[in-house]
Amino acid sequence: MNPRIVPATLAALALASGAAACGSSNDDNSSASTGSAAASTGSDSGSGVKATLNGAGSTFAAPIYQQVGADLKSQGLTINYQGVGSGAGVSQFAAGTVDFAGSDPALSDDDRATIKKGDAVQIPFALGAITASYNLSGVKSGLKLDGETLANIYLGKVKAWNDPAIKALNPDVDLPSTKITVVHRSDSSGTTKGFTQFLANYSTAWKNGPGVDKDIKWPTGTGAKGNDGVAAAVKQTDGAIGYVEQAYALQNGFTFADVKNKAGKFVAPTLESTSAAAEGIEVPEDLGVSTIDAPGDGAYPIVSQTFAITYKDACKAGISADKAKGLKFFFNYLVNEGQDTIKKLSYAPIPDSLKAKDQAAIDAMQCNGAAIS
C-alpha cells in the first residue's frame, strides 16, 4: 500500500466533512462548523459512564475527536467538539465554557496563568506530520525543500517556483516560473506554532522577525481559517503552498514536499517518519513534549504532537462528577483503544514510553480530592 494514500483516512475524513456543527457549552460558538463533532449517546454498554463532554480547539486533531466520538457513542458518552484552533480552544477552556481543550503545542506558562479554576493536565495522545503542500502543475510529490528555503518563501524573498534556491535543491526537476502564492493560517493555531518553530530553527531572519507563536504577523501571503481552510485555498490556487496536517493533505490529494531533517536527509511525511520523530524525545514532568525538528535519519522534521487538556480535579473546577468520570474514561480511551483509530486516520500513535506517563497522569485524575473509579 502506498503510505501517502490511505483509503481509511479518506473515508473517515469524508464522513467528518459532512457532519453538522454541534452545540457547545459556549453559545457564542454554536455557528462554528470546522472540525465539529457530535456523537449521540447510545445504550450504556457496561462502562458505567454516561455524560456529555464539550470540547474545542485544535483543527489538526479534529478528525480524531470526530471519529473517537463515533467510537464511544455506544459507551454512554456524547462528545461535542468544535475545531476552532488551539489558541481559541485553550481560551474557551480557561473561560470555563468547555470541559476539555484540544491543543497542539503544550500549555505555556501564560496559558496556565489564564486557567483559574484549578491545575490542568495535558495528555499528548497522537502525532501528525505538518506537510508543506503545494499546487504546481506538472510537479509531482517529493519536491525537495529545506528549512531556510521554506522560511524565505514565507518571508516573501523567494517569489517564484523556479527561484535559484529551489532549483539548487531540485536540479533534475523542470520547475515552472509560476508565482508562489503563500497560504497561512488566519486563526490562533498550534499548527502555526509548530511550523514557525521549524522555520526559526533554520532562519535567523524568521526567528528575529515574525517569530514563533500560535498567531503571528505574517510578512506575506493570504490567510485561511483552520487546516481545512488552508487546504481549500491551496487546492484552488495554482502555484500555492501551504502548511497543512497530513490527513487534510491526503483528503485533498495534495502533492507535498520531502523536507530536509536535522540529520541532513530529505524525508517524506509518512506514518513511519512521523513516528520516528517521537523516538527518544525528552518528556518533561508536565508531559509538554515537542517533536519539531527531532533527531534521527528517518525522522520527518515538522511533526506536531496534540494534547487533550482538562483539570486534574474536574469537580473542584465546577465540573459534575458524571462529567469527571466521563473525562477520565475518554482520555483513557485516547491513549489505549483509540490508538488504533489514530493510525487509521493517518496520524502516528504515541510510543509506549510516553503512553506509560500519560496513563499515570490519567490514573491520577480526581473528583473533589478522591480518585475517580
For the domain that residue 256 is a member of, what is the CATH number? 3.40.190.10
Cell, residue 226: 483552520
Domain range for 67 is 7-128+305-371
In a domain, 284, yes or no: no
Same domain, 180 and 111: no
In a domain, 34, yes or no: yes
Same domain, 145 and 270: yes
Same domain, 95 and 180: no
Work out how many domains the chain is built from and give that number: 2
Amino acid at position 169, single letter: L
In a domain, 297, yes or no: no
Same domain, 28 and 116: yes
pLDDT value at position 48?
Answer: 76
pLDDT value at position 47?
Answer: 62
Same domain, 41 and 121: yes
| Cα–Cα distance measured from residue 145 to residue 272, given in angstroms and rounded to the nearest whole number | 20
The single residue listed with the C-alpha cell 491551496 is: 234
Pairing of strands 51-57, 100-103: parallel
Please say whether the beta carbons of 352 and 282 come within 8 A.
Answer: no
* Rg for the chain, CA atoms, rounded: 20
In a domain, 285, yes or no: no
Nearest to 348 by CA among 289, 290, 269, 280: 269
Same domain, 25 and 111: yes
In a domain, 354, yes or no: yes
Same domain, 19 and 114: yes
Nearest to 329 by CA among 42, 41, 39, 72: 72
pLDDT value at position 279?
Answer: 86
Same domain, 163 and 220: yes
* Boundary (domain end) residue, out of 255, 276, 297: 276
In a domain, 188, yes or no: yes
| Cα–Cα distance measured from residue 261 to residue 276, given in angstroms and rounded to the nearest whole number | 12
In a domain, 58, yes or no: yes
In a domain, 295, yes or no: no
Question: What percent of the chain stands above pLDDT 70?
Answer: 87
Same domain, 264 and 343: no
φ and ψ at 250, to 5 degrees? -65, -40
Same domain, 139 and 269: yes
Same domain, 43 and 146: no
φ and ψ at 10, to 5 degrees? -65, -40
Cell, residue 74: 455506544
Torsion of CA 130, 246, 217, 308, to 10 degrees: -80
| Cα–Cα distance measured from residue 243 to residue 235, given in angstroms and rounded to the nearest whole number | 12
Same domain, 243 and 311: no
pLDDT values of the chain reduced to their tens digit, one per residue, 373 residues: 334 333 333 334 433 333 333 333 333 333 333 333 333 333 334 467 899 999 999 999 999 999 999 999 999 999 999 999 999 999 999 999 999 999 999 999 999 999 999 999 999 999 999 999 999 999 999 999 999 999 999 999 999 999 999 999 999 999 999 999 999 999 999 999 999 999 999 999 999 999 999 999 999 999 999 999 999 999 999 999 999 999 899 889 999 999 999 999 999 999 999 999 998 788 999 999 999 999 889 999 999 999 999 999 999 999 999 999 999 999 999 999 999 999 999 899 999 989 999 999 999 999 999 999 8
If one counts every other C-beta atom within 10 angstroms of the C-beta of residue 221, the result is 19
pLDDT value at position 135?
Answer: 98
